[in-house]
């Protein structure tokens, strides 16, 4: 579960917060008036999120093509290779 800090705490302890995220691999939610406002996460987490988003988008395209009858056998493998997906 991510840690939570206020915007004031984030501002006053900026370098500590960045170090906790970068080196401690923590996810931190910044709150304002008790509600989530922003999040800071390790770059590796962002990269994984981007990969997942790309995979989901590629799958949606594959499904749309298949529904329209435009998908040829083996096409999904070519799409994954082109998008460098696993």
- Do 48 and 72 belong together in one domain? yes
- Three-state DSSP at 36 gives strand
Domain holding 52, by residue range, is 44-82
State the CB neighbour count (10 A cutoff) for residue 64.
11
| Helices and strands, number each (H, E), in the chain | 4, 3
pTM given for the model? 0.60
pLDDT per residue as tens digits for the range 57-86: 888 877 877 777 765 656 667 777 777 766
- Do 14 and 28 belong together in one domain? yes
- Do 36 and 9 belong together in one domain? yes
CA atoms within 13 A on the CB side of 78: 5
- Do 8 and 37 belong together in one domain? yes
pLDDT per residue as tens digits for the range 23-63: 999 999 999 999 999 999 999 988 888 888 888 888 887 78
């Amino acid at each position: 579960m991510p840690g939570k800090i206020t915007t004031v705490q984030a501002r006053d302890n900026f370098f500590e917060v960045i170090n906790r995220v970068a080196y401690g691999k923590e996810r931190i939610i910044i709150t304002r008036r008790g509600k989530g406002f922003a999040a800071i996460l390790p770059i590796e987490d962002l990269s994984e999120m981007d990969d997942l988003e790309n995979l989901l988008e590629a799958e949606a395209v594959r499904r749309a093509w298949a529904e329209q009858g435009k998908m040829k056998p083996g096409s999904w493998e070519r799409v994954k290779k082109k998008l460098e997906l696993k």
